[in-house]
Amino acid sequence: MTAATDGVVIEVVDSVLRLVIDRPERKGSITPAGVRRMVEALEAASSDDTLRAVLISSAGDDFCTGSDWVSSNSAGGQKPRPGNLQRRTALQAHRLIAVMLEIQLPIVSSVRGWAAGLGCQIALASDFTVATDTSRFWLPFTKRGFTPDSGATWLLPRLIGVARAKDLLMLGREVTGTEAADWGMIHRAVPETELDEAVGQLVDQLVASATVALGLTKRCIHSALDGGIVAAMSDEALALELSARSSDFREGLAAFTERRDANFEGR
Protein backbone atom coordinates (compact mmCIF):
# COMPACT_ATOMS: atom_id res chain seq x y z
CA MET A 1 0.00 0.00 0.00
CA THR A 2 1.31 3.43 -0.89
CA ALA A 3 1.96 6.06 1.76
CA ALA A 4 -0.96 8.20 2.87
CA THR A 5 -1.16 11.83 1.81
CA ASP A 6 -3.60 14.03 3.77
CA GLY A 7 -4.78 10.87 5.53
CA VAL A 8 -5.97 9.07 2.38
CA VAL A 9 -4.23 6.27 0.48
CA ILE A 10 -5.13 6.13 -3.21
CA GLU A 11 -4.09 3.23 -5.41
CA VAL A 12 -5.33 1.10 -8.31
CA VAL A 13 -5.26 -2.68 -7.92
CA ASP A 14 -6.65 -5.02 -10.59
CA SER A 15 -8.87 -2.37 -12.22
CA VAL A 16 -10.22 -1.22 -8.84
CA LEU A 17 -9.66 2.30 -7.52
CA ARG A 18 -9.02 1.87 -3.81
CA LEU A 19 -9.48 4.80 -1.44
CA VAL A 20 -8.29 4.00 2.07
CA ILE A 21 -8.97 6.44 4.91
CA ASP A 22 -5.74 6.16 6.90
CA ARG A 23 -6.11 8.18 10.09
CA PRO A 24 -6.58 5.60 12.85
CA GLU A 25 -5.28 8.07 15.44
CA ARG A 26 -8.29 10.30 14.64
CA LYS A 27 -10.78 7.41 14.28
CA GLY A 28 -10.82 7.83 10.52
CA SER A 29 -11.98 11.44 10.54
CA ILE A 30 -11.18 13.28 7.31
CA THR A 31 -9.63 16.71 6.89
CA PRO A 32 -10.75 19.07 4.09
CA ALA A 33 -7.53 18.23 2.24
CA GLY A 34 -8.29 14.53 2.50
CA VAL A 35 -11.82 15.05 1.20
CA ARG A 36 -10.45 17.01 -1.73
CA ARG A 37 -8.03 14.18 -2.58
CA MET A 38 -10.92 11.73 -2.64
CA VAL A 39 -12.94 14.06 -4.87
CA GLU A 40 -10.05 14.49 -7.28
CA ALA A 41 -9.45 10.73 -7.43
CA LEU A 42 -13.12 10.02 -8.17
CA GLU A 43 -13.34 12.78 -10.77
CA ALA A 44 -10.31 11.35 -12.55
CA ALA A 45 -11.74 7.83 -12.31
CA SER A 46 -14.95 8.91 -14.03
CA SER A 47 -13.11 9.08 -17.37
CA ASP A 48 -10.59 6.28 -16.80
CA ASP A 49 -11.62 3.36 -19.02
CA THR A 50 -9.22 0.99 -17.26
CA LEU A 51 -11.24 1.06 -14.03
CA ARG A 52 -14.15 -1.26 -13.26
CA ALA A 53 -15.07 -0.39 -9.65
CA VAL A 54 -14.23 1.75 -6.60
CA LEU A 55 -13.60 0.44 -3.08
CA ILE A 56 -13.62 2.74 -0.04
CA SER A 57 -12.29 1.38 3.25
CA SER A 58 -10.26 2.39 6.29
CA ALA A 59 -6.93 1.38 7.77
CA GLY A 60 -8.07 1.59 11.39
CA ASP A 61 -10.71 0.15 13.70
CA ASP A 62 -13.26 2.74 12.54
CA PHE A 63 -14.42 3.48 9.00
CA CYS A 64 -14.82 7.25 9.33
CA THR A 65 -16.09 9.43 12.16
CA GLY A 66 -16.79 12.43 9.95
CA SER A 67 -15.03 15.67 9.12
CA ASP A 68 -12.09 16.53 11.35
CA TRP A 69 -13.26 19.90 12.63
CA VAL A 70 -10.61 20.05 15.35
CA SER A 71 -7.62 19.67 13.03
CA SER A 72 -9.09 21.85 10.29
CA ASN A 73 -9.88 24.69 12.70
CA SER A 74 -6.78 24.50 14.90
CA ALA A 75 -4.47 26.48 12.65
CA GLY A 76 -5.54 29.73 14.24
CA GLY A 77 -5.33 33.03 12.41
CA GLN A 78 -8.02 35.51 11.47
CA LYS A 79 -11.66 34.56 11.84
CA PRO A 80 -13.12 33.68 8.42
CA ARG A 81 -15.71 35.87 6.72
CA PRO A 82 -19.40 35.12 7.30
CA GLY A 83 -20.59 32.44 4.91
CA ASN A 84 -17.23 30.64 4.87
CA LEU A 85 -18.78 27.32 5.93
CA GLN A 86 -21.52 27.55 3.31
CA ARG A 87 -19.04 28.40 0.55
CA ARG A 88 -16.46 25.71 1.25
CA THR A 89 -18.87 22.87 2.11
CA ALA A 90 -20.17 22.87 -1.45
CA LEU A 91 -16.66 22.13 -2.73
CA GLN A 92 -15.68 19.68 0.01
CA ALA A 93 -18.06 17.23 1.71
CA HIS A 94 -20.98 18.03 -0.57
CA ARG A 95 -18.90 17.62 -3.71
CA LEU A 96 -17.65 14.24 -2.47
CA ILE A 97 -21.18 12.89 -2.07
CA ALA A 98 -22.26 14.39 -5.39
CA VAL A 99 -19.41 12.84 -7.36
CA MET A 100 -20.03 9.47 -5.69
CA LEU A 101 -23.59 9.57 -7.00
CA GLU A 102 -22.55 10.88 -10.43
CA ILE A 103 -19.66 8.58 -11.29
CA GLN A 104 -20.66 5.69 -13.56
CA LEU A 105 -18.58 3.14 -11.70
CA PRO A 106 -19.98 0.97 -8.90
CA ILE A 107 -18.74 2.06 -5.47
CA VAL A 108 -18.36 -0.38 -2.59
CA SER A 109 -17.69 0.71 0.99
CA SER A 110 -16.28 -1.67 3.59
CA VAL A 111 -17.34 -0.52 7.07
CA ARG A 112 -16.12 -1.63 10.46
CA GLY A 113 -16.41 0.32 13.69
CA TRP A 114 -17.94 3.79 13.53
CA ALA A 115 -19.40 5.42 10.42
CA ALA A 116 -20.52 8.79 11.76
CA GLY A 117 -21.32 12.14 10.16
CA LEU A 118 -19.64 12.34 6.77
CA GLY A 119 -18.50 8.73 7.24
CA CYS A 120 -22.11 7.61 7.45
CA GLN A 121 -22.97 9.65 4.36
CA ILE A 122 -20.12 8.07 2.39
CA ALA A 123 -21.53 4.66 3.30
CA LEU A 124 -25.05 5.69 2.27
CA ALA A 125 -23.92 7.26 -1.01
CA SER A 126 -22.02 4.11 -2.00
CA ASP A 127 -23.79 1.71 -4.32
CA PHE A 128 -23.02 -1.22 -2.04
CA THR A 129 -21.95 -0.92 1.60
CA VAL A 130 -20.96 -4.06 3.46
CA ALA A 131 -20.52 -3.58 7.20
CA THR A 132 -19.80 -5.69 10.24
CA ASP A 133 -22.90 -6.53 12.21
CA THR A 134 -21.51 -4.62 15.20
CA SER A 135 -20.49 -1.48 13.30
CA ARG A 136 -22.27 1.75 14.27
CA PHE A 137 -23.94 4.29 12.01
CA TRP A 138 -24.58 7.67 13.58
CA LEU A 139 -25.59 11.14 12.41
CA PRO A 140 -24.99 13.30 15.50
CA PHE A 141 -25.68 16.69 13.93
CA THR A 142 -28.53 17.93 16.13
CA LYS A 143 -26.81 16.42 19.18
CA ARG A 144 -24.05 18.94 18.51
CA GLY A 145 -26.43 21.83 17.89
CA PHE A 146 -26.25 22.11 14.10
CA THR A 147 -28.03 20.70 11.09
CA PRO A 148 -27.28 17.73 8.79
CA ASP A 149 -25.17 18.07 5.67
CA SER A 150 -23.55 15.87 3.02
CA GLY A 151 -26.90 14.92 1.53
CA ALA A 152 -28.27 13.33 4.70
CA THR A 153 -31.74 14.85 4.36
CA TRP A 154 -31.97 13.61 0.75
CA LEU A 155 -30.43 10.15 1.05
CA LEU A 156 -31.95 8.85 4.28
CA PRO A 157 -35.69 9.40 3.55
CA ARG A 158 -35.25 7.69 0.19
CA LEU A 159 -33.44 4.72 1.72
CA ILE A 160 -35.42 4.12 4.92
CA GLY A 161 -38.48 6.38 4.85
CA VAL A 162 -39.34 9.66 6.55
CA ALA A 163 -40.14 8.32 10.03
CA ARG A 164 -36.88 6.46 10.43
CA ALA A 165 -34.93 9.31 8.85
CA LYS A 166 -36.31 11.66 11.51
CA ASP A 167 -35.33 9.16 14.20
CA LEU A 168 -31.72 9.22 13.01
CA LEU A 169 -31.43 12.88 11.99
CA MET A 170 -33.53 14.62 14.64
CA LEU A 171 -33.21 12.29 17.63
CA GLY A 172 -29.64 11.18 16.90
CA ARG A 173 -30.34 7.46 17.12
CA GLU A 174 -27.39 5.12 16.54
CA VAL A 175 -27.95 1.95 14.52
CA THR A 176 -25.83 -1.17 14.24
CA GLY A 177 -24.71 -2.71 10.99
CA THR A 178 -27.38 -5.38 11.39
CA GLU A 179 -30.12 -2.76 11.86
CA ALA A 180 -28.81 -0.70 8.95
CA ALA A 181 -29.00 -3.74 6.66
CA ASP A 182 -32.47 -4.68 7.92
CA TRP A 183 -33.69 -1.13 7.28
CA GLY A 184 -32.23 -0.95 3.78
CA MET A 185 -29.61 1.68 4.66
CA ILE A 186 -26.79 -0.57 3.45
CA HIS A 187 -26.35 -3.62 1.25
CA ARG A 188 -25.35 -6.22 3.83
CA ALA A 189 -24.05 -6.83 7.37
CA VAL A 190 -21.73 -9.74 8.20
CA PRO A 191 -19.66 -10.92 11.18
CA GLU A 192 -16.37 -9.05 11.41
CA THR A 193 -14.35 -12.14 10.52
CA GLU A 194 -16.25 -12.38 7.22
CA LEU A 195 -16.07 -8.73 6.16
CA ASP A 196 -12.99 -8.83 3.94
CA GLU A 197 -14.13 -11.97 2.15
CA ALA A 198 -17.64 -10.63 1.57
CA VAL A 199 -16.31 -7.34 0.23
CA GLY A 200 -13.77 -9.10 -1.96
CA GLN A 201 -16.39 -11.35 -3.52
CA LEU A 202 -18.68 -8.40 -4.22
CA VAL A 203 -15.90 -6.34 -5.80
CA ASP A 204 -14.84 -9.31 -7.92
CA GLN A 205 -18.43 -9.72 -9.12
CA LEU A 206 -18.66 -6.05 -10.09
CA VAL A 207 -15.27 -6.08 -11.84
CA ALA A 208 -16.42 -9.07 -13.91
CA SER A 209 -19.69 -7.36 -14.87
CA ALA A 210 -20.61 -5.21 -17.88
CA THR A 211 -19.20 -1.89 -16.69
CA VAL A 212 -20.99 0.31 -19.23
CA ALA A 213 -24.37 -1.24 -18.45
CA LEU A 214 -23.77 -1.00 -14.69
CA GLY A 215 -22.84 2.67 -14.92
CA LEU A 216 -25.84 3.58 -17.06
CA THR A 217 -28.18 1.64 -14.77
CA LYS A 218 -26.81 3.52 -11.76
CA ARG A 219 -27.35 6.81 -13.61
CA CYS A 220 -30.96 5.90 -14.42
CA ILE A 221 -31.75 4.89 -10.83
CA HIS A 222 -30.45 8.14 -9.36
CA SER A 223 -32.08 10.29 -12.05
CA ALA A 224 -35.43 8.59 -11.51
CA LEU A 225 -35.47 9.52 -7.82
CA ASP A 226 -36.28 13.12 -8.76
CA GLY A 227 -38.54 12.59 -11.77
CA GLY A 228 -41.66 10.83 -12.97
CA ILE A 229 -41.98 7.59 -14.88
CA VAL A 230 -42.00 9.27 -18.29
CA ALA A 231 -38.63 10.91 -17.62
CA ALA A 232 -37.32 7.63 -16.17
CA MET A 233 -38.29 5.69 -19.28
CA SER A 234 -36.67 8.35 -21.46
CA ASP A 235 -33.44 7.92 -19.53
CA GLU A 236 -33.78 4.15 -19.83
CA ALA A 237 -34.15 4.40 -23.60
CA LEU A 238 -30.99 6.49 -23.85
CA ALA A 239 -29.10 4.07 -21.59
CA LEU A 240 -30.33 1.12 -23.67
CA GLU A 241 -29.12 2.78 -26.86
CA LEU A 242 -25.67 3.43 -25.37
CA SER A 243 -25.24 0.04 -23.67
CA ALA A 244 -26.35 -1.76 -26.85
CA ARG A 245 -23.37 -0.21 -28.62
CA SER A 246 -20.87 -1.70 -26.13
CA SER A 247 -18.62 -4.71 -26.69
CA ASP A 248 -19.98 -6.22 -23.49
CA PHE A 249 -23.50 -6.21 -25.00
CA ARG A 250 -22.28 -8.24 -27.97
CA GLU A 251 -20.43 -10.60 -25.63
CA GLY A 252 -23.56 -10.99 -23.50
CA LEU A 253 -25.64 -11.96 -26.53
CA ALA A 254 -22.99 -14.40 -27.73
CA ALA A 255 -22.75 -16.00 -24.29
CA PHE A 256 -26.54 -16.39 -24.14
CA THR A 257 -26.63 -17.99 -27.58
CA GLU A 258 -23.73 -20.30 -26.78
CA ARG A 259 -25.10 -21.17 -23.32
CA ARG A 260 -21.97 -20.07 -21.43
CA ASP A 261 -20.96 -17.43 -18.89
CA ALA A 262 -20.18 -14.03 -20.36
CA ASN A 263 -16.62 -12.74 -20.26
CA PHE A 264 -17.16 -9.01 -19.89
CA GLU A 265 -14.22 -6.64 -20.40
CA GLY A 266 -15.88 -3.41 -19.27
CA ARG A 267 -16.14 -1.89 -22.75
Series of mean pLDDT values for 10-residue runs along the chain (267 residues): 78 97 93 94 97 97 85 57 58 87 97 96 97 96 85 94 96 97 98 98 98 96 90 88 92 91 92
Q: Are residues 216 and 201 in the same domain?
A: no
Q: Are residues 153 and 189 in the same domain?
A: yes
Q: Are residues 252 and 140 in the same domain?
A: no
Out of 187, 207, 227, a domain closes at 207
Q: Are residues 182 and 229 in the same domain?
A: no
Residues in Cβ contact with 248 at an 8 Å cutoff, skipping those fewer than 6 apart: 210, 211, 212, 213, 262, 264, 265, 266, 267
Q: Are residues 56 and 151 in the same domain?
A: yes
Residue 22 inside a domain? The answer is yes
- CATH number at 198 reads 3.90.226.10
Give residue 172's pLDDT: 93
Q: Are residues 203 and 231 in the same domain?
A: no
Residue 266 inside a domain? The answer is no
Burial of 74 (0-12, 13-18, 19+ CB in 10 A): exposed
Measured at the alpha carbon of residue 213, what is the angle toward residues 221 and 158, in degrees to the nearest 5?
15
Give residue 211's pLDDT: 97
Range of the domain at 245: 211-257
Q: Are residues 24 and 107 in the same domain?
A: yes
Q: What is the pTM of this model?
A: 0.90
Give residue 19's pLDDT: 98
Give residue 145's pLDDT: 85
Q: Are residues 151 and 239 in the same domain?
A: no
Q: What is the dihedral of CA 116, 118, 123, 124, to 10 degrees?
A: 110
User: Within 13 Å, how many C-alpha atoms sit on residue 53's CB side?
Assistant: 26
Q: Are residues 112 and 66 in the same domain?
A: yes
